[in-house]
Amino acid sequence: MSKQHELTKRKLPESVTNYFHINWGILIGFFILFIFLTIFADNFFTYGNLLNVLRAVSTNSFLAMGVMMAIMLAGIDLTGGAIIALSGCVSVSLLKLGINIPIAVVTGMLVGTAFGLLNGLVIAYTGIHPFVVTLATQSICRGMAYLIANGKPIAIMNDEYTKLGNGYIFGAVPLPAVYMIVFLFFTYVLLNRTRFGRHIYAVGGNPIAAKYSGINIKKIQIIVWTMSGFLASFGGVILSSRMSSGQPAVGIGFETDAIAAAVLGGTSFFGGTGSVGGLIIGVLIIGTISNGLNLLHVNSYWQYVAKGTIILLSVYFDIYRKNKEDIRRSKIK
């Protein structure tokens, strides 16, 4: 057995152990939620429903990946839901005009990515807080979606396009779930195996130290918000494919789900902390709650209450953890 193989065998159990050590709290919470719904919600633990959950959480996962990286820079991105609507409306509108599918899809994604780039440029070069910038562009994107769609859904009958969001691989796994896994993998590699990923953690953790280390903070900000726009636009195209229409009103409140998934997964609003492993659990918990409440015939408005409570509690524990860490460091000094 080679030395490299021995090291790989050693590292794998360590990685799994560290993952459970870091995320044991939300893993237990997810397990309890899953068991509860399996017992009390009819048809929850069925193959068809679990596939529905995977398909549903895919859209949130695209947004949550971008939001997580923005929060890791001690920022925020509120444009995700509006970019989803705008990208979907652009792609479907072009299809209605007779444009072929690849060009329509790429154009829809370019529009959303361009707004992500705009967010990054404004944040990097004006010093305006990301909350204000993305709140403004959220309104712009939503208004443009309504203008393009003339205030109403744009239906499209195109089997090839609808397969993008409704198709299956091997006849069993929904394509949106496959896209989600691919993007999560690349995000994990980006954050954990590249210099750019290390720079995100450094800038979010201590921007002053990062600046004096030679890290181009503006460049990091621009790329992160551009990536967030790209991920949201991809989610918008896939969602419009699933619904066979571009809908200007779709995506309202989606950014709340993305933020809830990110902070529930351990991403700190203080910056410098976040992981794809925690994000996956956060996304699954938010999606499972929505699905479970629907199956239990609970008023859908309670979903807003549940998600708001999750965000509030997660931020509280984040602050508690940060204060505790600061006290520990002061004692060491």
The H or E element containing residue 97 is none
Structure tokens that stand for 43 in this block: 């048809």
In a domain, 176, yes or no: yes
pLDDT in tens, 50-71: 988 998 899 999 999 999 999 9
Whether 83 maps to a domain, the answer reads yes
> Tell me, what's the pLDDT at 313?
83
pLDDT at 217: 97
Q: How confident is the model at residue 12, as a pLDDT?
A: 44
For residues 249 and 54, the answer to whether their CB atoms sit within 8 Å is: no
pLDDT at 304: 83
Give the other-Cβ count within 10 Å of 321's Cβ: 14
DSSP category for residue 179: H
Could you tell me if residue 69 is inside a domain? Answer: yes
* Number of domains present in the structure of the chain: 1
CA angle centred on 38, ends 32 and 39, rounded to 5°: 95
- Range list of H helices, 73-216: 80-96, 101-126, 130-149, 159-166, 175-193, 195-205, 207-212
**pTM for this predicted structure:** 0.90
| 245 within some domain | yes
| End-to-end alpha carbon distance in the chain | 46
Q: Identify whether the C-beta of residue 269 lies closer than 8 Å to the C-beta of residue 275.
A: no
Count of Cβ atoms closer than 10 Å to residue 330 Cβ: 8
CB atoms inside a 10 Å sphere around CB 305: 10
Residue 83 burial (CB < 10 Å; 0-12/13-18/19+)? Answer: buried
- What is the DSSP secondary structure assignment for residue 74, as one 8-state letter? T
Quick check: is 233 in a domain?
A: yes
**Is 63 part of any domain?**
yes
Largest pairwise CA distance in the chain: 68
Task: Give the H or E element holding residue 168.
Answer: strand 168-169
Residue 14: per-residue pLDDT = 55
Angle, CA 116 vertex, CA 113 and CA 117 arms, to 5°: 90
Whole-number pLDDT of residue 332: 65
User: Are 241 and 160 spatial neighbours (Cβ–Cβ below 8 Å)?
Assistant: no
Q: Which domain holds residue 149?
A: 53-251+270-275
Rounded Cα distance between 211 and 123, Å, is 16
Average pLDDT by stretches of 10, the chain with 333 residues: 40 62 81 92 90 91 97 96 97 95 97 98 96 97 96 92 92 91 96 96 95 96 98 97 95 92 90 92 92 89 84 80 72 64
Cβ-contact 229, 79 below 8 angstroms: yes
Question: Residue 331 corresponds to which tokens in the numbers above?
Answer: 């004692």
Do the Cβ atoms of 224 and 73 come closer than 8 Å?
yes
Q: Estimate to the nearest angstrom the gap between the alpha carbon of 52 and the chain centroid.
A: 18
**DSSP per-residue letters across 2-15:** -HHHHHHHHHHHHH
> How does the average pLDDT of the chain come out, rounded?
90
Residue 106 forms part of a structural domain: yes
Query: How many angstroms separate the Cα of 313 from the Cα of each of 254, 257, 260, 291, 316?
Result: 19, 14, 10, 21, 5
In a domain, 21, yes or no: no
Of 117, 105, 53, give the one whose Cα is nearest residue 79.
Answer: 117
Helix-, strand-, coil-residue percentages of the chain, each rounded to 5 = 80, 0, 20
